């Protein structure tokens, strides 16, 4: 069974459209892209989903960082789990800021790339995101 959209190995999914149930044959990626979004978590501030982020690499607003932080930085959970075992638990805010700082570092390297490429639009967008993120980090510490 192959995906009717892209031809990769697929599964059957039941979907409901207009009150009628029907079956579609799609790979998980196409299923997510076509039908997964209505159930996806959305940033309460700008309405962006994590799928949007994965596609564009850009977050909609500064609140997205907090809302999607688990998805953004799955490795952080392991780090926090590790500290829990040793009994050395950093402050809750420290953990949260750590995630935000990682994301900001990632954005900064992308900004440098954009500047090198001479992509002003992208540099502007990333700059705005970094600014928003910095404000979030400062807000978290206040």
Number of residues engaging Zn ion in binding (CB under 5 A): 12
Query: Which one, 2 or 117, has the nearer CB to Zn ion?
Result: 2
CA distances from 101 to 10, 58, 106, 124 (A): 38, 16, 9, 19
Q: How many CB atoms lie within 10 A of CB 87?
A: 6
**What per-residue string of b and e applies to 90-99 under the rule 16 or more CB within 10 Å gives b?**
eeeeebbbbb
Q: How far is the CB of 135 from Zn ion (least distance, A)?
A: 13
CB-based burial, 33-66: b 16+ in 10 Å, e otherwise: eeeeeeeeebbeeeebbbbbbeeeebbbbbbbbb
Question: Is 63 an interacting residue with respect to Zn ion (CB under 5 A)?
Answer: yes
Does residue number 32 form part of the binding site for Zn ion (CB under 5 A)? Answer: no
Q: Is 11 in the site for Zn ion (CB under 5 A)?
A: no
| Alpha carbon distance, N-terminus to C-terminus of the chain | 55
Question: Which one of the spans 62-70, 78-86, 96-104, 131-139 is the region binding Zn ion (CB under 5 A)?
Answer: 62-70
Q: Among 58, 61, 73, 79, which residue sits at the site for Zn ion (rule: CB under 5 A)? A: 61
Each residue 88-127 as x (binds Zn ion by CB under 5 A) or -, in order, gives ----------------------------------------
Residues of the shown chain interacting with Zn ion in the complex, contacts defined by CB under 5 A: 3, 5-6, 27, 30, 43, 45-46, 60-61, 63-64
């Amino acid at each position: 069974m192959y995906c009717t959209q892209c031809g990769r190995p697929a599964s059957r999914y039941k979907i409901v459209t207009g009150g009628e149930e029907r079956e579609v044959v799609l790979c998980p990626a196409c299923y997510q892209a076509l039908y997964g979004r209505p159930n996806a978590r959305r940033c309460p501030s700008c309405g962006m989903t994590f799928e949007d982020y994965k596609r564009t690499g850009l977050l909609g607003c500064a609140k997205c960082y907090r809302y999607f932080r688990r998805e953004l930085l799955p490795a952080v959970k392991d780090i926090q789990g590790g500290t829990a075992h040793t009994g050395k638990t950093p402050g809750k805010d420290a953990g949260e800021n750590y995630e935000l700082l990682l994301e900001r570092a990632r954005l900064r390297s992308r900004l440098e790339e954009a500047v090198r490429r001479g992509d002003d639009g992208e540099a502007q967008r990333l700059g705005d995101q970094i600014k928003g993120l910095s404000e979030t980090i400062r807000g978290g510490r206040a």
